[in-house]
């Protein structure tokens, strides 16, 4: 196998300057208004790529960036907003062309918004490792570790509390009484009813995952398995999460396809299990037929967003039959049958959908039934719609 190796050391850069003006004007017999926005942006970037000693040993790429933007808004008054971004990134791969390789990356971005109404400073950091193992006779295995954090500092305006409020007061969420004219003796500035406070928000996540993908040639089956553990921390919520996903696809000689999909999630606010089996059989002449089975289970736990517990589960059988009368004329029948419960109440149903497709229009008929008390009682509703399709190529 041939490889295209990077150059030993290569620099690249970017200088981008832009100036844009947006303006609107509105007038009638009584009102005349003009609005405009002027935006000046500067973007600078310097990066490098290359390798150390030999490209099969270690390759790298990295860059530093700086961006500044000034926005001037003109209406009845003039005010400005200023943005600043500066950051860097570095990516290295050890033994990139070997069966076992190790990748490391790190990124950082510092941003500042100078806004007269809400100044904000925020920083984003990310770094991670990836160990890759591959070979002709073994599946591809990826071990990943990723860390990401976000911090923001906001400058908020807050009214000062009164020491001796009079009858003309109002009440806010922080249990303070305020008055627009009087300020307490402990005010920082008696000429202003406002003081400034800093609010810090942060999010931190640590993610550990393993991915295994391969091909069972004897069974003609492609498969993929993924497990992920996540540690999440923020000013509002802390939790650990587990995720598991798997998928298989098997192709038979008669062109039939059998596939499975499994998903399991466990968090502080819910547990979920979802399983699907699909089978696409060889067409019987002009008739194509697909079948599937689906199982779904969900347990929602009481949390800060809601105080009730939710439990949902169901089994579903589906069949899709498509008959091709000609290249420009076909009919499709969709059958489904579902048995399940939601919070202890029966939520079962069955139904079918019929599509008749011509070159210029389609007739679509749907009938559903809600099943209660073991299929004894049923409610029916139907819908018919007609719409145009473009010609079939």
**Residue numbers in the chain where pLDDT is lower than 70:** 1-3, 76, 116-118, 154-198, 302-307, 358-393
Does some domain include residue 381? Answer: yes
109: left (phi over 0), alpha (psi -120 to 50) or beta: beta
The model's pTM is 0.70
Does some domain include residue 328? Answer: yes
Residue 3 contacts residue 97 (beta carbons within 8 Å): yes
Does some domain include residue 176? Answer: no
Looking at 55, 77, 95, the residue that finishes a domain is 95
How many folded domains does the chain comprise? 2
Query: Distance between CA atoms of 75 and 19, rounded to whole angstroms?
Result: 19
Does some domain include residue 288? Answer: yes
Closest alpha carbon to 147 in 104, 198, 199, 204: 204
Residue 309 contacts residue 332 (beta carbons within 8 Å): no
Which residue's structure tokens are 């305020």?
Answer: 178
Residue 381's domain comprises 284-297+306-393
* pLDDT for res 28: 76
Query: Distance between CA atoms of 377 and 349, rounded to whole angstroms?
Result: 11
* pLDDT for res 165: 46
Query: Distance between CA atoms of 157 and 169, rounded to whole angstroms?
Result: 19
Looking at 95, 121, 138, the residue that finishes a domain is 95
How far CA 180 is from CA of 118, 162, 173, 183, 280, in Å, comes to 22, 10, 17, 8, 72
* pLDDT for res 178: 33
Does some domain include residue 12? Answer: yes
* pLDDT for res 24: 84
Distance of CA 328 to the CA centre of its chain: 39
Does some domain include residue 17? Answer: yes
* pLDDT for res 363: 52
* pLDDT for res 372: 40
Does some domain include residue 111? Answer: no
Query: Distance between CA atoms of 354 and 382, rounded to whole angstroms?
Result: 11
pLDDT tens digits, 60-73 = 999 999 999 998 88
3-state class of 386 per DSSP?
Answer: strand
Query: Distance between CA atoms of 77 and 82, rounded to whole angstroms?
Result: 17
pLDDT tens digits, 210-242 = 999 998 888 889 999 999 999 998 888 888 999
What stretches of 95-191 adopt beta strand conformation (E)?
100-114, 120-133, 140-159, 170-171, 177-178
Looking at 29, 64, 95, the residue that finishes a domain is 95
Does some domain include residue 138? Answer: no
């Amino acid at each position: 196998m041939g490889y295209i190796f990077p150059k030993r050391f290569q620099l690249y850069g970017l200088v981008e300057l832009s100036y844009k003006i947006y303006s609107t004007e509105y007038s009638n017999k009584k009102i005349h208004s003009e609005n405009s926005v002027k935006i000046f942006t500067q973007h600078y970037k310097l990066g490098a790529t290359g390798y150390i000693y030999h490209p099969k040993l270690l390759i790298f790429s990295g860059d530093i960036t700086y961006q500044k933007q000034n926005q001037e808004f003109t209406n009845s008054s003039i005010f400005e907003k200023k943005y600043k971004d500066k950051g860097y990134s570095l990516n290295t791969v050890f033994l990139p062309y070997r069966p076992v390789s190790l990748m490391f990356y790190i990124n950082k971005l510092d941003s500042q918004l100078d806004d007269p109404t809400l100044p904000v400073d925020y920083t984003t950091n990310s770094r991670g490792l990836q160990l890759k193992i591959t070979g002709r006779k073994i599946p591809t295995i990826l071990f990943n570790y990723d860390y990401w954090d976000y911090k923001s500092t906001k400058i908020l305006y807050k009214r000062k509390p009164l020491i001796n409020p009079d009858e003309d007061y109002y009440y806010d969420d922080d249990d303070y009484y305020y008055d627009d004219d009087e300020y307490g003796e402990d005010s920082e500035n008696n000429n202003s009813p406002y003081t400034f406070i800093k609010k810090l928000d942060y999010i931190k996540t640590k993610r550990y995952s393993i991915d295994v993908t391969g091909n069972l040639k004897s069974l003609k089956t492609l498969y993929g398995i993924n497990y992920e553990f996540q540690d999440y921390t923020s000013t509002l919520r802390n939790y650990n999460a587990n995720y598991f996903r798997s998928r298989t696809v098997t192709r038979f000689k008669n062109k039939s396809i059998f596939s499975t999909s499994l998903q399991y999630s466990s968090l502080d606010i819910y547990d979920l299990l979802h399983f699907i089996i699909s089978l696409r059989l060889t067409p019987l002449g002009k008739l194509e037929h697909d079948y599937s089975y689906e199982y779904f289970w969900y347990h929602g736990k009481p949390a800060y967003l809601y105080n009730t517990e939710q439990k949902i589960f169901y089994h579903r059988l589906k069949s899709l039959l498509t008959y091709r009368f000609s290249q420009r004329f076909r009919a499709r029948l969709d059958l489904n049958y579902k048995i399940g419960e939601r919070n202890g109440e029966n939520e079962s149903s069955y139904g079918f959908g019929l599509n008749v497709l011509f070159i210029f229009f389609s007739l679509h008929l749907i009938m559903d039934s809600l099943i209660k008390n073991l299929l004894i009682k049923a409610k029916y509703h139907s819908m018919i719609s007609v719409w145009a399709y473009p010609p079939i190529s």
